[in-house]
Copies of this chain bind each other. A is one copy, B any other.
Amino acid sequence: MCQLLGMNCNTPTDVRFSFSGFAQRGGRTGDHSDGWGIAFFEGRGVRHFVDHERAVDSPVAELIRRYPIKSSNVIAHIRKATQGVVSLQNCHPFVRELWGRYWVFAHNGDLKDFQPHLHRSFHPVGDTDSERAFCWLMQELSKSHAQLPSVAELTLTLRELSAGIARHGTFNFLLSNGLALWAHASTDLHYIERRHPFAAAHLSDEDLSVDFARETQATDRVAVIVTAPLTRDECWQAFARHELKVFVDGSALTL
């Protein structure tokens, strides 16, 4: 199984604190050592880093831990290969373009007998069930809407599509188009919404703490979504089974 990390904010925010703890699970505090990846939206653009080295050793992960990339939507993934060989094309997150927007997707879980008919414009490059599921989601979104619909409409469509895929196995995923971040849980997914008044937090996987009150403005809102809670002194919420949530500007929307 793999691990997921997502961040959605109302102000471009530095993900280094969360990524630092998360990356420890890629070979040190966890055995997710078959590659990793992270994508940051900056406006409509995406910075996309993937590596088949362990996240804890990777020079590219080291760059991310040091270089303060500020982003409003981030998706990261560390991989424990269950389907597909260990190679760059199988590293999450995956990126595709639809309606003139980049879409970024990462998955945790296993899908059995999921061989959808991919008859349109999205085809996997690697050989994972995850990329296949992403291509099918993109295909079905493009069939359901002629152009980019509202976040609310997209959420309704994604709820239906996710339920269809989740019948094939464990389908925890994160998806973003830079405007919103969708998170779906089959099994393990947790989130936290950090907002004023900010407190201090201490990572579970590394001896590192941060006082968010010193790093933030009173109006900042940051949602972090992760497979297993990253800090030991904050109150993380577990997703319900088969729940799809959408985060915009650092808050979960009620739809």
Contacts and interface: CB of A to CB of B under 8 A. Distances in A.
Given A63-B60, A67-B60, A46 B121 contact: no
Contacts of A125: 44-45, 97, 100-102
Contacts of A100: 123-125
A50 interface: yes
B59 A126 contact: no
Interface string A37-52: 0000011111111110
Nearest to A96: B97
Nearest to A67: B59
A95 interface: yes
A187 interface: no
Contacts of A120: 121
Interface stretch (A83-91, A107-115, A227-235, A242-250): A83-91
Contacts of A102: 125
A142 interface: yes
Contact of A123 (B89, B91, B99, B122): B99
Interface residues of A, number: 35
A104 to B, nearest CB: 12
A46 B123 contact: no
B48 A59 contact: no
A60 B100 CA distance: 26
Interface string A75-93: 0000000000001111100
Contacts of A50: 45, 47
A37 to B, nearest CB: 10
Interface string A50-66: 11000000011001001
Contacts of A88: 42-47
14 contacts: A42-B88, A43-B88, A44-B87, A44-B88, A45-B87, A46-B88, A47-B50, A47-B88, A49-B49, A59-B66, A60-B63, A63-B63, A95-B95, A97-B123
